[in-house]
Structure 1
Amino acid sequence: MSRLSGLDLLRAIAIVWVMLFHSFIAGGLGDSYSWLSRYGWMGVDLFFVLSGYLIGSQLLKPLSQGESPSLRDFYVRRAFRVLPAFLAVLAVYFTVPAFREADGIQPLWQFLTFTVNFLIDYEHNKAFSHVWSLCVEEHFYLVFPWLALWLARRPSAKRFVCVCVALVLAGIAIRGYVWIFEMLPVRDLEDVERSFGRRFVEDIYYPTYARLDGLLAGVVLAAVRFYRPSAWARLQAKANWLLLGGVVGVALAMWLFRDRVGLIGNTFGFPVLSAGLALLVASAAGREGWIARCRVPGAGWIAVASYSLYLTHKQVFHFVSETFGAQLEGRGLLAFAAYAVATLLAGALLHYAVERPFLQLRDRWARRRPAASTGGEGGSMPSAEVASASQPTA
């Protein structure tokens, strides 16, 4: 199958962005790389926008044509996509404690039910904590198909806009309330049950209900594409202007988040960031814009393996730091290369040993299904879109 190289490039940028962020947080690259911790977390939001657009496209295209996608097939294909690699890594976490990047870890049942992002004790249980974003994705997969079916029963642009505006305002209100009434009172206190920073992570940054902006922005793009195709065509004709607008939007979000845990960024910054990233995704979703025609060696493979890289990179950083940290300290590019090579090797191992075989098994299962039943996961999507289907990585 052909792939949309622009979306692959954005996916590669997203996972590299996140890994660079964690290379300082979980690795041992030293203070010279501390700048990576400033904005690297934004790669997660890029993944959310990509997921919203691609999963939204798979479901909204048949709905826009009056067809009903098979939710059974959708969930089965998502299970093939997400669970094998995740369960393989989870098994190692709970059977080989030395594999963990931190000592404490949440109970197994929370990982199996994808509730870690709601229940985590971040002060004591940081191991595999980056799975919070996978939890957000899983909640999206669970709820969005039913919401899409409900909205498609009587298609209404007004109702769709009202739902979108309500979700954005609800996110702003929730994050603002938490910051003012939960975080601010303990900002300068040390002897409290939950510190300011811990409340930020547990009550704003991780919970699904506070992080819907990126997924929503992606779904809006998909809705415009399939319910307003003429408007989408006009947007694609100005793909490079979309790219410029996206860069400006992300830059504005970075300015709003100049205080990473500040009130302004964490209330209004997320929708601004998601809007900017959505413009980048719109620019990359066609074939005419600069980013859609850009070819970066290795970006396609990184995009394909991004889920495996996401699941393993923090553990690898920790292992390299614990094993070779003393020898690599102060070695600059050599240290960076050592971490990068180890991460790519671990991601490749998981991808080729677990992830890819189950994707091939999924494809064989899909070929045995009646043609009409494949629409739930993109059977009616163009091949390039299916090949670039969303991966829950961040």
Structure 2
Amino acid sequence: MIEKRAIGPDILRGLAILLVMSWHMPWVDYPPFFQHIKDFGWLGVDVFFVLSGFLIGTELLKPVHAGQTPDLRVFYLKRAFRILPVFWLMVTIYALFPTLREREAMSPLWRYLTFTLNFGLDAKTFGTFTHAWSLCVEEHFYLILPAMVLILRRFKTPWPAIAAVATLLIGGMILRHHIWSLWHAAGGDGVKFFTWFYYPSYTRLDGLLIGVCMAGLRLFYPILWTQFARPRFTLPLAMLCLGVTGYMNQINGVILSETGSLVFYPLFSLGVASLLASLLAAERHIQPARWTALSYIAAISYSLYLSHKIVFHLDDLFMPKAWMTGWIQIAIYYVTSIAVASLLYFAVERTFMQMRNRLLARMKKPPQNTETAFKSIASDN
């Protein structure tokens, strides 16, 4: 029996990409209401991190819960077919057609291909395709989590896993606070804040780890999950965490205060995780959202994330200047970005996911005997 896809993560994914798009829109005059949304747009990436931690954590921990070893060959094959085709296409477009770049300079190609863009990134000097930094964090997570799972599954008690997660979370908080102090002492330069504090993987693991913890709790302690994941508990907690971090954002923005550098990311991630738990608990009530535009935007969100900046740039180049103001400009940006992302999704993403599914089906189908195995190998070669 195929497990029905939950709609809760898609609701958050759709909202997250719309927030990110608002943050990345060029700095011009906006209607006041949209400007308030834009002020929070940078938080969309952190919503993605929590979702990724929960979904990838669930995928890797399910076999452990069943007493099996995760098949990392299958895991990495699925990740490669899901992530690399559209990413490589966008990197190629940016590299071959400089006029399409939203900024003048682009980081060296090897930084994209090795997923090291987010270390030492100076977005003021190399301003093209900088949003790929978050994809680098994800790729590093795909290396760290499977290794942790393979090591920690050997223990019969959950305490080593709890200790490992606590060490990473608390260590990340202390490290961020130390980096913030160094940055503040160096004069509080905005570019250095992003380079030292915002982009590196070692400062941004909070959301991913909290998402994994959520997946582990749901799988290994279902009774506890059922008791405490109810909206009457998780929704007030989500509102509290998101309200506090929202207030911090209004006061200090993306460049956080000394206290914010310490607690902002884990607190915001806990709020997102609590909201996700509420949506999962209310799954049967929110199923109609599966047929909404938000669900479709969630489906194309990866292509939308990678391509929206280049579309914004093209709109500025080719659209009549009289249109590029107020709500008309906003509508043009979103409509054209969704159109291009839809093309990428159907032409590239779905094509490679179908190829992936066929390959996985062949891998799961064992040969019936020695003769059929020989024929299978011969045909593959």
Could you say which residue in structure 2 is the equivalent of 1:9?
A: 11
Q: Secondary structure at the match of 2:245?
A: helix
Return the index of the structure with the highest Cα Rg.
Answer: 2
- Whether the 8 Å contact between 1:283 and 1:292 is mirrored in structure 2 is no
Q: Secondary structure at the match of 1:147?
A: helix
Aligned residue type for 1:356:
R
What are the residue-to-residue correspondences of 1:93-242 with 2, within 5 Å?
A: 93-187=94-188, 196-236=189-229, 238-242=230-234
CA distance in 2, matches of 1:215, 1:359: 24
Q: Secondary structure at the match of 1:35?
A: helix
Q: Name the TM-score, length of structure 2 as normaliser.
A: 0.89
Q: Percent identity of the aligned residues?
A: 37
Could you say which residue in structure 1 is the equivalent of 2:262?
A: 267
- Whether the 8 Å contact between 1:62 and 1:68 is mirrored in structure 2 is yes
CA distance in 1, matches of 2:337, 2:141: 28
Q: Which moved more, 1:61-70 or 1:81-90?
A: 61-70
Q: Secondary structure at the match of 1:16?
A: helix
Q: Which has the higher contact order (CA 8 A, sep 6+)?
A: 1
- Report how far residue 371 of structure 1 moved: 6.2
Gaps of 5+ in 1: 188-195, 373-394
- Whether the 8 Å contact between 2:307 and 2:337 is mirrored in structure 1 is yes
Could you say which residue in structure 2 is the equivalent of 1:376?
A: none
Q: Which moved more, 1:283-292 or 1:210-219?
A: 283-292
Aligned residue type for 2:110:
W
Could you say which residue in structure 2 is the equivalent of 1:326?
A: 321
Could you say which residue in structure 1 is the equivalent of 2:357?
A: 363
Q: Which moved more, 1:106-115 or 1:62-71?
A: 62-71
Q: 1:226 to 1:41 in 2, by over 3 A?
A: same
Q: Secondary structure at the match of 1:85?
A: helix
- Report how far residue 287 of structure 1 moved: 4.5
- Report how far residue 144 of structure 1 moved: 0.6
Aligned residue type for 2:337:
T
- Report how far residue 239 of structure 1 moved: 2.8
Aligned residue type for 1:227:
F
CA distance in 2, matches of 1:120, 1:128: 11
- Report how far residue 319 of structure 1 moved: 1.6
2:335 aligned to which of 334, 341, 348:
341
CA distance in 1, matches of 2:262, 2:365: 45
CA distance in 2, matches of 1:99, 1:40: 24
CA distance in 1, matches of 2:335, 2:38: 21
Gaps of 5+ in 2: 367-381
Aligned length: 360
1:71 aligns with 2:66: no
- Report how far residue 12 of structure 1 moved: 0.6
CA distance in 1, matches of 2:336, 2:198: 29
1:351 aligns with 2:351: no
CA distance in 2, matches of 1:323, 1:294: 35
- Whether the 8 Å contact between 1:64 and 1:226 is mirrored in structure 2 is yes
